[in-house]
Structure 1
Amino acid sequence: MDGAWQRAALPLVMLGVLRAGPRHGYAIARLLEDLGFGTVRGAVLYPALNRLVDQGFIEAEWEAGQQGPGRKMLHLTAAGRAELGRQAQAWQDFDSAVARAIGPGVEPPAGPQERIPRAGQEN
């Protein structure tokens, strides 16, 4: 997946995978990769998770490790569930607009059309 697209969609998909229940950062990255989102590097993943914590959309709790160090478990807050709903609707609207724009037989809307001159041309 294109890196810019991945970074743009990352907050939405992280909220989406946390809807199913708490996960730690590595598990989120692995699940996203399994879902076809591509490899999410830690240098991209963890700052994005921290922004979601700062925004109040997810909370982090330390879980003691059974045989090793503890890890931070992340879970969705009520505000995060609401934000997921808003972002999911916005994504669906965006996806529909892109599909219409790149689909076969794209026609301009009915009505008078303003002609945009090319560089160096006059109206």
Structure 2
Amino acid sequence: MDLIAFAPATDLDRAVEFYGAVLGLEHQETTPFAAVFRAGNVMLRVTKVESLQPQPFTILGWSVPDLRATVAHLATRGVAFTRYDGMSQDSVGIWTTPDGSQVAWFRDPEGNTLSLTQFA
């Protein structure tokens, strides 16, 4: 079985711009119901919803080989990385886990929390 990931959005044009042009995912199609992307072997369906209350937890995340380089690249594309009170994040918003993995969080235009992880 192949995984299909879902994320909600009220504005599919804005989702295509963000997930495609900003994050660099391959945009496959947009229908009245969803914008479809390819992230490696995973299909991401950004599904049209009438209203959205973003949740406080991560809904999508990516494993990256070089977190600092990825954070720097996305920052040049306007992505702002989230800082959390009480977490010891570095100057660019990266948190190092007890096992040495590193994580950075950011939000899509809808306010959904996304993450990048470089595993130890």
With the length of structure 1 as denominator, give the TM-score of the two structures: 0.29
Higher strand share: 2
Higher helix share: 1
Q: Over alpha carbons, which structure has the higher Rg?
A: 1
